[in-house]
Amino acid sequence: MANEKNNIPIKIYLSEAELPKQWYNVKADMKEQHAPFLNPATLKPVTFEELCGIFITELVKQELNETDRYIDIPEEVLNFYKMVRPSPLVRATFLEKALGTPAKIYYKFEGNNTSGSHKLNSAIAQAYYAKEQGLTSITTETGAGQWGTALAMACSFFDIKLDVFMVKGSAMQKPDRVEVMKTYGAEVTPSPSMVTNVGRKISEEKPGTTGSLGCAISEAIEVCATRDKCKYALGSVLDYVLLHQSIIGLEVKTACEKYGIKPDIIIGCAGGGSNLGGLIGPFVGEKIQGKNDIRIIAVEPASCPSLTRGKYAYDFGDTGKITPLLKMYTIGNGFIPSPIHAGGLRFHGMSPIISKLYADGYIEATSVGQKEVFEAASLFSRTEGILPAPESAHAIRATIIEAEKCKETGEEKTIIFGLTGTGHFDMSAYRMYNSGEMVDSILTEEDLQKGFETIPKVD
């Protein structure tokens, strides 16, 4: 052990025996829970039965579980995990050198799989529980396409039919991403589409819209409701997704303990909050208990700043107002962000767990502009050899800012950030950056207020 602590490899791969056998439920350690989901019609807490109308039953149980600190990972899910996990925790030695910083930078890389991101961690669990429940199909939405690809892989593995509503702007930018989903047998429909009522309504109200996650969610839920043995799957925001993603943070924690690494700062990009919640889970659990004082930073795009400029309020999870009401940081369910290139960070709201942790002061938030994000992505590509997803590059940018502060002060801080995935299907965005055509998308106070107006009055 002493020997291991003195000999930290550049890439820390845990053994399969060290793969966590249970997920970590941060809610068991939270002093106060986030507010319950509300039924928008009655404004009363949504019941277990109501949630089971939309979601897979076992996942609803996990969603409502506030007491069990650890939940067993089913064996079939563990076996699948072994194909792609444990994922490496990598020391960014070449990035450190390029920055000339005394900071020690590590990244947890979740992109070593065909879906190209961490989304597979929850996708395979959701497909497994669907199969166990005897379902034959699933509907979902996808923004950047990483979640859709991951669920397509998972559904293919368990032989379940999948329909994906993909934000139209992303589907147009990434035909190859669409083709990967098709290779795994999924049906992909650009959203808003003409196959649902809500899709037709939104298309009529906002002609030429490139869509939003909120709109695609509405369409997926609408189609699901018309089918037998079908449920709707969500790849972020919800508590059960953060539960599955806790495998990221648990592996990081095991690696840190094994090699004596003590993080001062943990940084993750935040769209719906699935990666961030998973990455920080066990660390923030200990922070709540006063066992550490790690700075935790959520990074969001300046063009879709739910934490840094949003309101902490009850809002719908979708544009069509079909979902229950969630208490979260939101810029309004009617907000349609400019078609920036980090499609995975375009959700108007934020995970209720992350929102609560932010409101209670356990985590910080910051927002960064698109150009500085791609500048960071480019530097990272060249130094560390991995071409990052635009989403992940938000965390890289924030890490560089912190590392540069260390350079000024001389502090040798240890920073860990989540490298959620690769940008192999985001080359159209890189093309804009490489050709100098990329612009920052500025969110005006006026547009923000317009979004706020769509937040329902609940009090």
Binding residues for a second copy (CB under 8 A)? 7, 9-11, 13, 15-17, 79-80, 82-84, 90, 93-94, 112-114, 116, 153, 156-157, 175-176, 179-180, 182-185, 378, 381-387, 422, 424-425, 427-428, 430-431, 434
Residue 77 and residue 13: Cα distance in Å, rounded?
Answer: 20
H-only helix segments in 310-389 = 352-359, 370-384
Given the complex with a second copy, which of 185 and 324 has the nearer CB atom? Answer: 185
39/12 Cα distance (integer angstroms) = 46
211: left (phi over 0), alpha (psi -120 to 50) or beta: left
Rounded-to-integer distance, Cα 132 and Cα 177, Å: 29
Task: Name the residue type at position 58.
Answer: E
Smallest distance, a second copy to C-beta of residue 386, A? 6
What is the nearest approach in angstroms of a second copy to the Cβ of residue 65?
29
Count how many residues are written for the chain.
Answer: 459
Which of helix, strand or coil describes residue 223?
Answer: helix
The one-character DSSP state at 102 is S
Q: Which helix (H) or strand (E) holds 414?
A: strand 414-419
Instruction: Compute the least distance from the CB of residue 426 to a second copy, in Å.
Output: 9
Between 274 and 422, whose beta carbon lies closer to a second copy?
422
Query: Is the CA virtual torsion 403, 421, 341, 435 positive or negative?
Result: positive
**Given the complex with a second copy, which of 183 and 409 has the nearer CB atom?**
183
Query: Alpha-carbon distance 36 to 325, whole Å?
Result: 9
CB closer to a second copy, 116 vs 143: 116
Q: How far is the CB of 425 from a second copy (least distance, A)?
A: 7
Per DSSP, the three-state class of 207 is coil
Query: In which residue are the tokens 């500085």 written?
Result: 372
* Cα–Cα distance measured from residue 366 to residue 144, given in angstroms and rounded to the nearest whole number: 21
Give CA–CA dist 238/228, Å, rounded: 24
Q: How far is the CB of 112 from a second copy (least distance, A)?
A: 5
Kindly tell me the sign of the dihedral angle through the C-alpha atoms of 393, 11, 292, 66: positive
Q: Least distance from C-beta 83 to a second copy, angstroms?
A: 5
Per the listing, tokens 């049906």 go with: 187
* Least separation in angstroms between CB 114 and a second copy: 5
Shortest distance (Å) from residue 233 CB to a second copy: 18
